[in-house]
A and B are shown apart, each in its own frame.
Chain A
Amino acid sequence: MSPRRDPVTTLARLAADLGVSFLPAGHQELLRSITEAARRLFEAGACSIALLTDDGAELQFITASGAGADAVTEMRIPAGQGIAGWVVMSGQAIAVDDVAQDPRFAATVAQATGYVPRSILAMPLETARRVLGVIEVLDRAEHRAATNRDMELLGVFAAQAALAIESSTVFNDLGRFLLEAWAGASTDTDLADRLRRHASTAPQPRKDMAEIAGLFYELGQSSASERRLAARVLREVLAYTRDRSTGDDD
Chain B
Amino acid sequence: MSLPAWSEQFDRDRLRNVPSTLPPIITREWAWAGATGAGVRVAVVDSGVDAGHPAVGHVDGAVIVEHDPEAPSHVRFVEGAHGDVFGHGTACAGIIRSIAPDCELFSVRVLGARLTGKGHVFAAGLRWTLEHDMNVVNMSLSTGKQDYFGLFHEIADAAYFRNVMLVCAVNNVPGPSYPSEYASVFSVAAHVDKDPLHFDYNPEPPVEFGAPGVSLDVAWLDRGRLTASGNSFAAPHIAGIVALTLSKHPRLTTFEMKTVLASLADNRTAAHRAG
Contact = CB atoms under 8 A, between A and B. Distances in A.
B87 interface: yes
B118 A250 contact: yes
Given A89-B118, A128-B176, A247 B146 contact: yes
B215 A97 contact: yes
B114 interface: yes
A123 B220 CA distance: 19
Contact of B214 (A57, A93, A102, A148): A148
B85 A98 contact: no
Most buried by B among A56, A127, A245, A249: A249
Which of B86, B88, B147 has the most A CB atoms < 10 Å from its CB?
A: B86
Contacts of A56: 114-116
A182 to B, nearest CB: 32
Interface residues of B, number: 50
Contact of B173 (A55, A155, A247): A155
A85 B171 contact: no
A155 B226 contact: no
Task: Classify the secondary structure of B's interface with A.
Answer: loop
Contacts of B120: 249
Contact of A128 (B118, B175, B221, B222): B175
A50 interface: no
Interface stretch (B123-131, B197-205, B229-237): B229-237
A217 B214 CA distance: 55
Contacts of B230: 92-95, 151
B229 A89 contact: no
A131 interface: yes
Contact of A101 (B145, B227, B229): B227
Interface residues of A, number: 52
Contact of A123 (B112, B173, B215, B228): B173
Interface in B183-233: 190-192, 213-215, 220-222, 224-232
Contacts of A82: 86
A66 interface: no
A110 interface: no
Interface stretch (B49-57, B136-144, B238-246, B261-269): B136-144
B163 interface: no
B174 interface: yes
A80 interface: yes
Most buried by B among A56, A80, A94, A95: A94
Interface in A17-43: none
A246 B214 contact: no
Contacts of A68: none
Contacts of B25: none
B42 interface: no
A52 B46 CA distance: 20
B142 A86 contact: no
B17 interface: no
B190 to A, nearest CB: 5
Contacts of A126: 143-145, 173, 175
B117 interface: yes
Given A102-B220, A102-B224, A90 B88 contact: yes
A41 to B, nearest CB: 15
Nearest to B226: A101
Contacts of B172: 93, 123, 151-152, 154-155
B192 A148 contact: yes
A232 interface: no
B153 to A, nearest CB: 14
Interface in A80-135: 80-83, 85-86, 88-98, 101-104, 123-124, 126-131
Contacts of B145: 126, 128-131, 247, 250
Interface of B: 46-47, 85-88, 111-120, 140-147, 169, 171-177, 190-192, 213-215, 220-222, 224-232
Q: Which 10 pairs across A and B sit closest by C-beta, in order of nearness?
A: A80-B113, A56-B115, A97-B227, A95-B229, A86-B86, A94-B230, A151-B172, A56-B114, A57-B114, A89-B111
26 contacts: A57-B113, A79-B114, A86-B86, A90-B46, A90-B47, A90-B88, A90-B140, A90-B232, A93-B172, A93-B230, A101-B225, A104-B222, A123-B172, A124-B171, A126-B144, A127-B175, A128-B145, A128-B146, A129-B145, A146-B215, A147-B192, A148-B190, A151-B229, A247-B147, A250-B116, A250-B118
Given A82-B86, A146-B215, A148-B191, 20 more contacts: A78-B113, A80-B112, A90-B47, A92-B232, A93-B173, A94-B228, A94-B229, A95-B229, A97-B215, A97-B228, A101-B225, A103-B222, A123-B173, A127-B144, A127-B175, A146-B192, A152-B172, A245-B146, A249-B119, A250-B116
